[in-house]
Structure 1
Amino acid sequence: MKSWKAKVDCCSWLGNSWMSGILNPNSSLFMLHHLQKLNLSMNDFSFSSIPSSFSQLLRLTHLDLSYSNFDGNIPSKLSWASLSLSDCSLFGEFPKNVFLLPKLQVIVLSRNDLLIGFLPEFLSRSSLRVLDLYSTNFSGKLPNSFGNLESLNLLDLHKANFFGELPNSIGNIESLSFLNLDYNQFFGAIPSSISLSFNNFNGQAPSTLGNLAKLNFISLESINLHGKIPSFLNNLTQLEYLYLSYNNFDTNLTKLREIYISRCQLKGSIPSEISRLPQLYTFDLSYNSLSGAIPSLLFTIPSLNKLSLNQNHLTAPLKFKNISSSSLWVLSLGGNVLGKMELKIFFEIKNLTYLDLSGTNLLISKRNINSTIPKFLRLWLSSCNLIEFPDFLRTQTSLLDLDLSNNKIEGKIPKWFWNVGKVALQFLNLSYNHLSGFEQPLTVLPWQTLSLLDLSSNMLQESLPIPPLSTNYFFASKNNLTGRIPSMICKVNSLKILDISDNQLIGEIPQCLGTFSSSLSILNLKRNLFKGNLPETFLEGSNLTSLDFSYNQIQGKIPRSLVKCRMLEVLNLGNNMMIGTFPFWLESLPELQILILRANGFHGPIWGPHTMLGFSKLRVFDISYNNFFGMLPLEYFETWDAMQMVHGRGNSQPEYMEDQAPYYKDSITVMNKGEEMVLVKILIIFTSIDLSNNRFHGEIPDTMGKLKNLIVLNLSNNSFTGHIPSSLGNLTELESLDLSQNKLLGEIPHQLLSLTFLAYLNLSNNQLMGLIPQGGQFWTFDNSSFEGNLGLCGPPLSRNVDIVKLQLLNQARSHLLESGSIGNR
């Protein structure tokens, strides 16, 4: 009751008052019949329904129940002028008649995802000033009568489900100051009013937008606009916020307070006229194709706090005038070729806390360290040709992020570096340098709040450093680290990604790497010298998605406790010394996409009477170079759904595994097109089956022809017999097919001519016969694809068809003579 003061409006006394419990329909609150305004927001009414007793308050005009944990349906009898129900848990259909109340001025229903509703076909002129349906399930088309809401100031339909063409009448609502239609399903040409982000409009922005003179916020992101940035924006004198990113505009900037025009394919130079915008606070032109010099006058705009010009083609060196008076605190110039610059010139900007100069050519002169250097929070100096740790870092005790990756820093990390951001540092990237070790090794690295540490791709030659106990992401791959994994690693139980691959680490893998797998998501230990068995300690509820122990000397069997890792997507045990039979139980892992058992000592069949036929999401299956044997039944591949769905080869942005994991991509080694190939990143659409160099026999199942998404198929060096299935012609995405070194008979199916992406074919050393199919990709293959099949003829082989027929007849005659079926005659 601290807010119950005589000088405070009593209508606000109940808001944010820590009240909790059910609001009952018989509450004495509903006896206040003269009540006009009621604010119960930001309390906790324990998900009680909105009582219908509110209808007893006949004089109530303003009701605010937002952020108060109400749920259920909204009473149909409403007569208020203002209704705010945001951030509740309301569901059901919103009463349509509410939109027709003549005195209604405010409707706020935002962030009620289960609330559905439809606008009336005819909206009469009303007093409605605010309509906020953000993140609701309202849907349908906007009626043509929408323009009748001539008093509307704010319209927010962001993340609703409206669709269809926008009515032109929206342009009549000249009172609008805020309009957001992002993330709906509007389409068609842009109407003569306004359209907003992430819909499917196209063309140029119409000049009639200039009629909406009261707008102070406009977002036109990602709607396929092109041409010049429209000049009518000059008419919007109240405009403070403009978002034009992800379009195809030409350069023609306008007068604004905040300008966001990133990723718009802008070309040309930055106009110096920008400096005439005395109120400009944020200027973002990142990820375009701008060239030339950065106007020095930009740094004289007194209000400019944020300047982002990164990832362009700006080339001239910076020339500053009176930069010490600049109020910049965010400056991002990375990814440009600005010529040689002295880092010290940026120290003149006293308020600077975020500086990104990645990819620029910096000169760092020796100078006295003093207190005038700004206290940076985020400093990005990646790819700046640095050869040593800059001395000015000694003063940077407040750093949150520091990126010195992709430089030429060599030698040992100096002991003074432990004090850089010692209390605050969260992100540290020293990867891709020439670091050899630590001047003062510590048992545990000192940063108390560090979340990400990247030491990968250096020349570290000592034992594995232990990251701070707060670390979530630790990368130390591609070094020369030696010795065993210290048991202290088990104390860093907040780890989500641990990648220490490509080192010289020895010994057994600690059992604890299985026991703290409830937090660990990615564990990569490949290409080391580990021996012994894998941990048997994987737990229920594990978050593990990727395990890579390949290219070690690991022995023993695959631990059955891995079946508890229900989120596992990648299991790579290739190139070890493991033994045992095929792990049928892995079929029960619902998310498994990549299974590699290549080059071990596994044996036995891969199918049995109790096989569950799982692997519905499997995309890479490599069990080559083992001792597996037996037949492949027709039904074996029936449930491999991910290989049966054709994704096609569209122009959309490629997706890779682990796209959501920071700084990490799964990589694997596969046999593709006859060569061992390292996939540094794995495309989501990449699919491969490699059963080569085993002892499988019998016919190749026709059902393999259902795996229409397959890109690589390698069945070589086995004992498969029978004909090549004609159904393989259905594998229209196939790029590599290797059936060599088997006992296949008959002709090559002409259906293989339909494999238009086939770049590698090896059918050598079988017992195939007849004419090689002519046309398509077959004309691109040489003799090596078909050699060792005495019965084959036709290009590219030079053997004559008649001679081959004679050879076949002689073979048949010899066979009959041996069997006694005919006499010598």
Structure 2
Amino acid sequence: MSNCKVAGVNVSDLDVVVPNCHAEERLALLQFKDSFMINKSASINPYPKVSSWTLNDCCSWDGVECDEHTGHVIGLDLSRSCLYGSFDSNSSLFRLLQLQKLNLAYNHFNYSQIPFRVAHFLRLAYLDLSHSVFSGRIPQSLANLSFLTDLRLDNCALYEEFPTTIFYLPNLQHLSIGDNQDITGHLPELHKVVPSRSIPPSVSNLTQLNFLDLPDNTFTENGLSGMVELDVFLKLKNLSVLMLSSNNLYVLTKTSSNDTLPQFHTLALGSCSLSKFPVFLKNQSNLIWLDLRGKNFQGLIPKWMYNVSVEALRALFLDGNFLTAFEQTPAVLPWRIVEL
């Protein structure tokens, strides 16, 4: 690089100066580390990142991301880090006010409640607490995270009502709360916009949503034993993953094959009490995974099913139903994997 003049001074081979992390944030991280035991049995495929943390620049630590201009900690990925112990609501972690990404998945937080102070991370866009042995209710305060695009709370021990205010988060694209069998959903507002058997109208506010995972929960609605209208989800044009399997849901659908619908690549409606093959599947060309397991389908598999996502579909699950045969038996099934 040739010499140049900057503010009257000749400068050669200018280097970009990356600021060190802030001392108070380094201390907060070390205190957070010290508040837990490092136990390899607490994580699957353990990788205890915090074990390498020392007193040097925390922006160079494993799992820590800093803003290249300010030096503030903006990302923390401590997934599978073997953290074991209770998550204190006064944790030093909450001093990292610039945090935008937080991943604590696959640790063991000893059935602590998710601290309401997580909502103090007002810039947070990514939050993954899955498989981390949290317990209790999901805090209502998460609805204050207006920048949140990705919320993953699956495979914990959460219970009580799911806060429907989360359905109003304007930027949410990925919502996963599966395998929390004691989460319920006594859902209000049903009489205002849609029939009383529908999922709350607030879910249609998630116009950016492309991933929704709600399996193995116990959603009930105003005493109606979990009846929901699939059409509410089908209005979310960006939705590509919808997983409702193994709930106590009775799914209704009025959608016809002529409606403009999202193109799914994963659709799991197993054990959702569907009584017939949903006709909207006729126009699905991108499906990779289709789960229609259950005990409600009877009789023949319609011949139009042979044309569903022929080029893309890798797995079709129909087991558990009372299906007798194909309406028109093809010479060769067009899909790679079929479980009947």
The aligned residue for residue 247 of structure 1 is 108
Task: Kindly indicate whether residue 227 of structure 2 is the aligned counterpart of residue 336 of structure 1.
Answer: no
Displacement of 1:398: 2.4
Q: 1:383 to 1:443 in 2, by over 3 A?
A: same
Tell me which amino acid in the other structure corresponds to 2:55. S
Choose the corresponding residue for 2:62, options 163, 168, 180: 180
The answer to whether residue 75 in structure 2 is matched with residue 217 in structure 1 is yes
* 1:75-116 per-position Cα deviation (integer Å, ceiling 9, x unaligned): xxxxxx79xxxxxxxxxxxxxxxxxxxxxx8xxxxxxxxxxx
- Residue 228 of structure 1 aligns to a residue whose secondary structure is coil
Q: Secondary structure at the match of 2:141?
A: helix
Q: What amino acid is the match of 1:263?
A: H
CA-based RMSD? 3.6
1:315 aligns with 2:315: no
Residue 268 (structure 1) aligned with residue 268 (structure 2): no
Cα distance in structure 2, aligned partners of 1:164 and 1:268: 27
- Tell me the residue number matched to 1:345: 232
TM-score normalised by structure 2 residue count: 0.70
Aligned counterpart, 2:158: 290
Residue by residue, what CA displacement relative to the aligned partner does 1:65-84 show, whole Å, maximum 9, x if unpaired? Answer: xxxxxxxxxxxxxxxx79xx
% same residue: 29
Q: Give the alignment partner of residue 167 of structure 2, picking from 288, 299, 316.
A: 299
Tell me how far 1:394 sits from its aligned partner.
2.2
Match of 1:362 among 226, 232, 250: 250
Aligned partner of 2:9 in structure 1 is: none
Tell me, what secondary structure is at the counterpart of 1:226?
Answer: coil
Contact 1:180 1:218 in 2 (8 A): no
Match of 1:258 in 2: 126
Distance 1:275 1:428 in 2: 36
- Determine if contact 1:284/1:307 at 8 Å carries over to the other structure: yes
The alignment status of 1:453 with 2:325, answered yes or no, reads no
Note the C-alpha offset of 1:162. 11
Partner Cα distance (2:275, 2:218) in 1: 19
The answer to whether the 8 Å contact 2:178/2:214 transfers is yes
Contact 2:168 2:202 in 1 (8 A): yes
* 1:418 lines up with 2:281 in the alignment: no
Q: CA deviation at 1:430?
A: 1.7
Structure 1: how far apart are the matches of 2:264 and 2:281? 10
Note the C-alpha offset of 1:294.
1.9
Separation in 2, partners of 1:359, 1:162 = 34
1:296–1:321 CA contact under 8 A, matched in 2: no
Q: What's the offset of the Cα at 1:377?
A: 1.6
Structure 1 position 165, deviation (Å) = 6.2
Residue 231 of structure 2: SS of its match in structure 1? helix
Report deviation, 1:427: 2.1
Task: Summarize the Cα distance change of 1:301–1:385 in structure 2 as closer, same or farther, 3 Å threshold.
Answer: same
Q: Which has the higher contact order (CA 8 A, sep 6+)?
A: 2
Letter of the structure 2 residue corresponding to residue 391 of structure 1: V
Q: Residue deviations 1:629-659, cap 9 Å, x none? A: xxxxxxxxxxxxxxxxxxxxxxxxxxxxxxx
Aligned pair 1:432/2:320, yes or no? Answer: yes
Aligned partners of 2:78 and 2:299: how far apart in 1? Answer: 50
> How far has the Cα of 1:213 moved from its partner?
7.3
1:17 is matched with which residue?
none
Task: Please give the secondary structure, in 1, of the residue aligned with 2:93.
Answer: helix
Cα deviations across residues 778-805 of structure 1 (Å, max 9, x unaligned)? Answer: xxxxxxxxxxxxxxxxxxxxxxxxxxxx
How far the C-alpha of 1:378 sits from its partner, in A, is 0.9
1:188-587 equivalences under 5 Å are 214-221=72-79, 222-228=82-88, 231-245=91-105, 246-248=107-109, 249-253=112-116, 254=118, 255=121, 256-312=124-180, 313-318=182-187, 319-326=199-206, 327-339=208-220, 340=226, 341-360=228-247, 361-447=249-335, 450=336, 452-455=337-340
Relative distance call for 1:415 and 1:301 in structure 2 (3 A) is: same
Contact 1:179–1:218 at 8 Å: present in 2 too? no
Cα displacement (A) at 1:317: 4.7
CA distance in 1, matches of 2:50, 2:95: 29
In the alignment, the residues of structure 1 paired with residue 75 and residue 324 of structure 2 have an alpha-carbon distance, to the nearest angstrom, of 53
- Report the Cα offset of residue 231 of structure 1: 4.4
Tell me the distance in 1 between the aligned counterparts of 2:272 and 2:302.
20
Offset from partner CA, 1:569-621 (integer Å, 9 cap, x none): xxxxxxxxxxxxxxxxxxxxxxxxxxxxxxxxxxxxxxxxxxxxxxxxxxxxx
> Structure 1 residues 405 and 427, CA, compared in 2 at 3 Å: closer, same or farther?
same
User: How many residues were matched structurally?
Assistant: 277
Aligned-pair CA distance for 1:373? 2.9
Distance 1:353 1:257 in 2: 20
Q: 2:219 & 2:238 partners in 1: Cα distance?
A: 23
Paired residue type of 1:179: W
Give the gaps of 5 or more residues in structure 2.
Answer: 4-11, 22-29, 31-44, 188-198, 221-225
Check the 8 A contact 1:371/1:395 in 2, yes or no: no
Which residue is equivalent to 2:8?
none
Q: Secondary structure at the match of 2:290?
A: strand
Partners of 1:352 and 1:374 within 8 A in 2: yes
Secondary structure, aligned partner of 2:165? helix
Q: Aligned with 2:338: secondary structure?
A: strand
| Aligned residue number for residue 718 of structure 1 | none
Are the equivalent residues in 2 in contact too, given 1:333–1:358 (CA < 8 A)? yes
Larger radius of gyration: 1
